[in-house]
Structure 1
């Protein structure tokens, strides 16, 4: 259940910090330019605005993020330590709520409690049949492409990249296709952190609660049943929130990874050549996206447990610190302008680091690689239908998923693949 600040909280729109918004880098055409300007003014730790009247630190340094993620006793994941939360600066209906308010799950815990809640997630991921997943995702991709292959044009975000991860994750947790599409709508609102964010979160949890109820009376081999049977999850709230973590993270990050990889391969001459037998392939593109446009640009959040110093900035107890994963990958101390030196290098921070690093990196790569390869294989002469600079991200302070990816290709008949 999402916790809320006290009802006396002043409306978030009543004040302004005068700081650059966190979304200034996720919604613009040149995020690296934004990082450069922030570094010139602040160094590796910059003050930004989360919403009008609510400020936080954006941590843009590679080493500084490693420091934060490895020091749980100083930088907590528990949002109940957030000073603006405690003092009512953040409104109860804030769009930041679904992403930043405390929940009874692995994201909001530290130390031994985090390890207890993390073990069921690691166990669940280990139970995934990777070969079955690959076949199921390929069948989903083929079915989607069959629906538009004869038209010669499509939007590879709305009709493809945004649908595949949700149906893949829904399948893992025992949801049907209709429920998967409902979750898709709810999660798009949740990750947007706008006025409809909390309504999206409520609908999201309602759908998952319904599946939990059904599986409690009729268990199957899906991950919902696995979580229900795990003795380390002590009550329904912990079970629900564990599923929430897996489904929400699996949807948004994988959608963005698929869309950004397709965008890269269709706009960058080094990868565009892959469509015509060039030397750089899908795995190279997947890794480059993790460096340049990672699935989560900004990861909420850590909260200082005492006054401290980070990157030359004085951090006060209760301050919120946002992990600028994209900015850290672009840190001039580790980043070069020669992208060829990064091919095969997986020292990026796309999955964060430390105890809270993403537990589902392998399934995410299976889904993304399968989706990209299937599109390249089944859509002959695939090319963008608009100039590359016309591709813009959809609104979110957390991710940089292209809002659309309109393409042309030679019309064809894509043959459906039977589901396993």
Structure 2
């Protein structure tokens, strides 16, 4: 790694709490070109920049590749537990803050550190490793075919709402041993739960009831599925930890995999390098997914780490309790490690940070990639003549400081029958 002026912040090195006029974190996602914003922040502050999460709520945005590795690998300095965030103690976080769903304490492997994290993560990692990939691919292809069958005869669809938002949770629910009806009920419950509407609490109770029922069923009759694996795992102490582990797995798989499916479909349908593949071009689904993971990963900015003591990172004075946001999209294009600034042009390069790094790196990278690849291939195969129904510049992202998932991908195609996929 070379040293450049990007390593040395040019602005005043003041503590986070004393800074004003900061760029909102949402400015990095609600724009046509996030890299333009990241370049501006780097020029002013270096690879670690102060940003505003909400009015009056500040954090450090870590945009450097090496700096993210430092933060994610040093648990003794940077904690995953939001209880260590000063905003939870000094009153600066409003009770109705939209940051709370992503930056509040939860009792699962994602939000704890050290030995407790290792104990709770082991069942997830072990369960993912136990998955029969061939069997899973067949199951995912079958459920993708069923989902497509619900709209194949219309000749038009929204590949986000009608497809990408549905497939991942059904795929993971199948691995947990849920039947088709239970899987669809779970998908609907999770969707309502994270829409944060008036029915969110009732939706959570419904989700927990589904999980409790399948756990009870596997205790009575074990099977070769993830639920049985978790029920029998010695690291999980009681039903509450089993439920929390199942919810974490479902939520992480659903949100991140949905985004990858949507972004990969978008690229395949709108970029001639990939769209040409449908007509015999040279780049395919794996290449498109690799580019998505470099350029538009599921999380543009990932919450969060919290400083456990006063320290310094890339010349910035990090204070105990400061929040560190992981700028994954920014770090993937860190000019200090990619002279061209476009690592996604390097076919087969998978050294991106989109799965995270350190002890908390995603343990489900292989099944997630399998689900995405199968979902995209199945859609392109079963929807003849599929094409975007609006100009590409009219595609917009879901409003969020965390990611840039397309809000919708309206398409048209030749209507097909459900089972044989022949034109009507």
* TM-score normalised by the chain length of structure 1: 0.88
Q: 1:399 aligns with which of 389, 403, 412?
A: 403
Q: 1:374 aligns with which of 375, 378, 399?
A: 378
Between the aligned partners of 1:274 and 1:282, the Cα distance in structure 2 is 9
| Equivalent residues in 2 for 1:248-327, closer than 5 Å | 248-327=251-330
Between the aligned partners of 2:305 and 2:279, the Cα distance in structure 1 is 45
Using a 3 Å threshold, how does the CA distance of structure 1 residues 182 and 36 change in structure 2: closer, same or farther? farther
1:223-270 superposed Cα distances (whole Å, 9 cap, x missing partner) = 122212211112333222211221111001100000000100111111
1:259-308 superposed Cα distances (whole Å, 9 cap, x missing partner) = 00010011111111101000111111111111001122222111101111
**Residue aligning to 2:105:** 102
Give the deviation of 1:177 after TM superposition.
3.9
Instruction: Report the secondary structure of 2:127's partner residue.
Output: helix
Give the deviation of 1:309 after TM superposition.
0.8
Using a 3 Å threshold, how does the CA distance of structure 1 residues 91 and 109 change in structure 2: closer, same or farther? same
Q: Which runs of 5+ in 1 are unaligned?
A: 1-15
Give the deviation of 1:144 after TM superposition.
1.8
Between the aligned partners of 2:22 and 2:188, the Cα distance in structure 1 is 31
Q: Which runs of 5+ in 2 are unaligned?
A: 1-18
C-alpha contact 2:290 2:344 (8 A) present in aligned 1: no
**Residue aligning to 1:360:** 364
The Cα RMSD (Å) is 2.5
Between the aligned partners of 2:404 and 2:212, the Cα distance in structure 1 is 29
Using a 3 Å threshold, how does the CA distance of structure 1 residues 108 and 199 change in structure 2: closer, same or farther? same
**Residue aligning to 1:247:** 250
2:165 paired with 1:167: no
Between the aligned partners of 2:322 and 2:209, the Cα distance in structure 1 is 32
Between the aligned partners of 1:321 and 1:50, the Cα distance in structure 2 is 11
**Residue aligning to 1:42:** 45
Instruction: Report the secondary structure of 1:280's partner residue.
Output: coil
Using a 3 Å threshold, how does the CA distance of structure 1 residues 350 and 25 change in structure 2: closer, same or farther? same
2:250 paired with 1:229: no
Instruction: Report the secondary structure of 2:152's partner residue.
Output: helix
**Residue aligning to 2:92:** 89
Give the deviation of 1:26 after TM superposition.
2.4
Instruction: Report the secondary structure of 1:151's partner residue.
Output: coil
Between the aligned partners of 1:117 and 1:197, the Cα distance in structure 2 is 30
Give the deviation of 1:95 after TM superposition.
3.0
User: Paired residues, what number?
Assistant: 401
2:146 paired with 1:143: yes
Between the aligned partners of 2:322 and 2:193, the Cα distance in structure 1 is 23
Between the aligned partners of 1:95 and 1:209, the Cα distance in structure 2 is 29
Instruction: Report the secondary structure of 2:325's partner residue.
Output: strand
Using a 3 Å threshold, how does the CA distance of structure 1 residues 210 and 319 change in structure 2: closer, same or farther? farther
Between the aligned partners of 2:156 and 2:303, the Cα distance in structure 1 is 37
Between the aligned partners of 2:53 and 2:352, the Cα distance in structure 1 is 25
47-56 or 368-377: bigger deviation: 47-56
* TM-score normalised by the chain length of structure 2: 0.87
